[in-house]
Structure 1
Amino acid sequence: MKKERRKFSAGFKAKVAIEAIKEQQTIQELAVKYELHPTQINTWKREFLANAEQVFAGEKKEEKDDSKEKELYSKIGELQIQVDFLKKVLGK
């Protein structure tokens, strides 16, 4: 009988990675505590540290996209007014 792979949530992975970063317990102790392989904990820790900058970069990017979206909708409105005006002038 084949054993099914365990799937971990992002929250659980972050929790384990943060505990590993704090270094209050060894990786081996964390592995026993959470029933994981030490290599898995080190992998999650490495990924967490590598992607930590995205937490702060994401906020600024959303604001920039939002302002760009407003600008484009404004331009669409202006062009629609011009089209309506030209239709009236040409009698269509």
Structure 2
Amino acid sequence: MKCISVYTNNFELFSDIYETILSTPLAENEEKEVEGVTVSESGEVPENYLDKMKARPDVVVMRLKDRDITILQHGSVFEIFIPETESVVH
């Protein structure tokens, strides 16, 4: 799974820029700023990382079933997990 990290603890702001983030082309380990928020392409993440994070009590899990995307929020970061088969519009 591909992981995009979004460094904010503001859910409303994250929600407002979510689609922009998905449509922003990012190379592996590249950082960009989207509306004042740092966004980073964190590369490939093993499946067990996602399972381990979901089990933590301080992690909020959001699931977009129609696109098979999982979003984790913990501390001041959101992590967007996109399966290999998901094609992000660039």
TM-score by length of 2: 0.25
TM-score by length of 1: 0.25
Choose between structure 1 and 2 for higher RCO, CA contacts under 8 A separated by at least 6 residues. 2
Larger Rg: 1
| Greater share of residues in helix | 1
